[in-house]
Amino acid sequence: MVAQTHLTVASGDEDSAKRHQIMDGARRVFMDLGFDGASMNEIARAAGVSKGTLYVYFTDKNRLFEAIVEQETLEHGKTAFNFDPALDAESSLRAFGRAYIEILCRPDGGSAVRTVMAIAERMPDVGRRFYDRVIAHTMRLLATYLAARVSAKELAIDDCELAAAQFMRMCQATLFEPYVFQAKPAPTKEQIATVVDSAARLFLAGYRIR
């Protein structure tokens, strides 16, 4: 008599929950140890699954890391910045800047950027994808808004993508680099407001039509 092996197929919800459980554990390991220091054994332990289960979902560490980056890009893509045409440019820029820095400097955001930066040379496709879907995507959203304010004769800007990049970098000043290099903790809402308000004033001093 031949024994039969019965396989239980997980439902879609169970499969998704297990995948997220693994990715959450892997994210913690990548944050603590970096890409090179992380091992599939350590990831399985942190995720609370067997190594066999881990390989059912992800064939290797590269695929797992790419899945985490992809999830990060999707989360950023869901962000809805408020570009209300009824608001003046200064109010809109302040609202955008605060939301942008709060996302960029959230507790796990800096670690994601650090990890991508560390691996981008070895995995350029991952780096390019993260840049295009997160950084450049946000820049394009702001540039589109700026172009609308140019059409409304509120701003005078020749290159809206350049101007968008300038404003985003000004919003990061004294906040993002100390955070991403772990020199300082995530900035408070008050610190963010101070820097972003200053950035908006400087930006409009150069681009607002008087």
Write the single-letter amino acid at 33: L
At residue 10, the pLDDT reads: 46
At residue 83, the pLDDT reads: 85
Average pLDDT, the chain: 87
- pLDDT value at 169 more than 90: yes
What domains does the chain contain, in order, with CATH numbers?
9-59 (1.10.10.60), 61-207 (1.10.357.10)
At residue 185, the pLDDT reads: 92
**Is 155 in a helix, a strand, or coil?**
strand
At residue 118, the pLDDT reads: 78
Picking from 23, 179, 170, 184, the residue whose alpha carbon sits closest to that of residue 114 is 179
| pLDDT above 70: percentage of residues in the chain | 89
At residue 77, the pLDDT reads: 64
Local structure of residue 7 (DSSP, 8 states): P
In which band, very low, low, confident or very high, does the pLDDT at 28 lie, cut at 50, 70 and 90? confident
In which band, very low, low, confident or very high, does the pLDDT at 12 lie, cut at 50, 70 and 90? low
Tens digits of per-residue pLDDT, 52-95? Answer: 999 999 999 988 988 888 887 777 666 668 788 788 999 999 99
- pLDDT value at 36 more than 90: no
In which band, very low, low, confident or very high, does the pLDDT at 194 lie, cut at 50, 70 and 90? very high
**Is 79 in a helix, a strand, or coil?**
coil
Picking from 35, 38, 12, 185, the residue whose alpha carbon sits closest to that of residue 121 is 35
- Answer yes or no: are the C-beta atoms of 138 and 148 closer than 8 Å: no
Tokens linked to 50:
């067997």
Find residue 155's DSSP bridge partners.
Answer: 208
At residue 76, the pLDDT reads: 67
At residue 119, the pLDDT reads: 82
- Please give the Cα distance from 209 to 202 (Å, whole number): 14
- CB burial class (10 A; 0-12, 13-18, 19+) of residue 86? exposed
